[in-house]
Amino acid sequence: MTRTGGSRRQRGLRRTEQILEAAEELVAAVGVAAVGMNALARHAGVSPGTLYQYFPHKRAVVDALLRRLAADLPARTVRDGRTDPAPEAAVAEMLEEVAALAERRPALLSLLRGAEPQDEPNVLLRTLSTS
């Protein structure tokens, strides 16, 4: 890989992070429904054309934010050799983790509330967004 390609990739990653940080701030402040692409571009300090180079539509921004926030949830695949908890305990544990994440990252619940019903992968997201 050329040096220029590496620097270009790094700039692209930084720009993506800049846009997602701005989007998370806006969503936390006004809710996902009130955030438009032009407002997001202004808040991120980029032109609308630049924003659309990274995210072709608002749904792409929302999906990227949800993936980013989900990455902050701790992995629960290894349980130190213990047997898996009962399903109710596992769900309660997951809900506690999501609630703790929502306290640290206020945009999470707004993102979940702002999801269109046909876009929701399951009822859990709707339940979490109303709790």
If pLDDT is split at 50, 70 and 90, which confidence band does 69 have? confident
pLDDT band at 130 (very low <50, low <70, confident <90, very high): very low
Q: Which CATH architecture has domain 3-130?
A: Orthogonal Bundle (1.10)
> Which is more confidently placed, 44 or 110?
44
32 vs 72, residue with greater confidence? 32
How far are the Cα atoms of 51, 73, 109 from residue 101, in angstroms, in the given order? 27, 7, 10
Other beta carbons less than 10 A from residue 125's beta carbon = 17
Instruction: Give the mean pLDDT of 64-93.
Output: 70
Average pLDDT of the residues of the chain: 79
What's the rounded Cα separation, in Å, for the pair 85 and 27? 35
Q: Nearest Cα to 93, choosing from 40, 101, 126, 15? A: 101
Report residue 20 as tokens: 């997602």
pLDDT one-digit tens code per residue, 102-123: 888 888 888 777 655 445 444 3
Q: Where are the domains of the chain?
A: 3-130
pLDDT at 94: 78
